[in-house]
């Protein structure tokens, strides 16, 4: 079975994971927006989400402990609670949904996310435990029900907080990581992950780890704004691809 997964799709997946994990470690978010849609075109939406969750959980695990000391749990804890409740309730729909519908949802949301990031839209609403839980719930419903990496919903909320960039980045990175782990756990409990996906993760996860390490290295040396133009253009291309392929 191990030898059966070694094919061009696997090597393409390794390249995608390398870049996407580097993107997350560098900018704090965005990797799943690249990884899930591209994996979906290769292996279908549910397995794509499972593979992304497996690889990201492993690749970013060594970065998360350091960020835990910086996170503002007063905002992050209610948001993560919202993620947990919403994903647990909505993930059953995703497992049984038409893959074509899921791809359509992904394409629309990726384009919407690109628009939000390009326009640098900011959240101007109330803050506190209830709004934080609500943002987590909205993110969780989008991710759990449609398989769409809804990280930008959390990003615009966190970036509006009067916190230093290091705290904003920690809030985003830890919440995105937990989003993927919670989603992965729900897929496992629903017995939705096939053996080939789990075995592929054994090969792809090391590429994710190397990419995450490179992203962390670049974060300390290259301003994030240099990366924005390329990342935004890439999201537009991916979103359009999901709609036409």
159-212 pLDDT, tens digit per residue, is 888 899 889 889 988 998 899 889 989 999 999 998 889 888 888 888 888 887
Domain ranges (residues) in the chain: 3-244
The token duo for 235 is 């999201």
pLDDT of residue 101: 87
pLDDT of residue 228: 66
Average pLDDT, whole number, for the chain? Answer: 84
pLDDT of residue 153: 86
Better pLDDT: 78 or 18: 78
Instruction: List pLDDT tens digits, range 35-61.
Output: 888 888 888 889 998 998 888 788 778
pTM (2 decimals)? 0.81
């Amino acid at each position: 079975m191990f030898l059966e997964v070694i094919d061009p799709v696997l090597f393409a997946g390794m390249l995608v994971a390398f870049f996407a994990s580097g993107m997350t470690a560098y900018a704090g978010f965005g990797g799943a927006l690249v990884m899930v849609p591209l994996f979906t075109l290769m292996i279908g939406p549910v397995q794509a989400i499972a593979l992304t969750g497996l690889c990201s959980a492993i690749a970013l695990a060594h970065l998360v402990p350091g960020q835990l000391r910086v996170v503002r749990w007063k905002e992050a804890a209610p948001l993560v609670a919202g993620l947990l409740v919403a994903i647990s309730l909505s993930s059953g729909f995703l497992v049984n949904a038409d893959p074509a519908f899921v791809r359509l949802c992904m394409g629309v949301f990726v384009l919407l996310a690109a628009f939000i990031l390009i326009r640098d839209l900011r959240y101007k609403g109330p803050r506190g435990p209830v709004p934080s839980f609500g943002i987590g719930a909205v993110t969780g419903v989008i991710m759990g029900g449609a398989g769409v990496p809804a990280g930008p919903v959390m990003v615009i909320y966190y970036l509006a907080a009067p916190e230093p960039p290091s705290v904003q980045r920690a809030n985003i990175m830890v919440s995105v990581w937990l989003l993927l782990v919670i989603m992965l756990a729900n897929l496992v409990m629903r017995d939705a992950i096939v053996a080939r996906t789990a075995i592929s993760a054994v090969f792809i996860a090391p590429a994710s780890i190397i990419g995450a390490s490179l992203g962390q290295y670049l974060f300390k040396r290259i301003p994030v704004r240099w990366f924005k133009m390329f990342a935004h253009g890439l999201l537009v291309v991916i979103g359009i691809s999901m709609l036409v392929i």
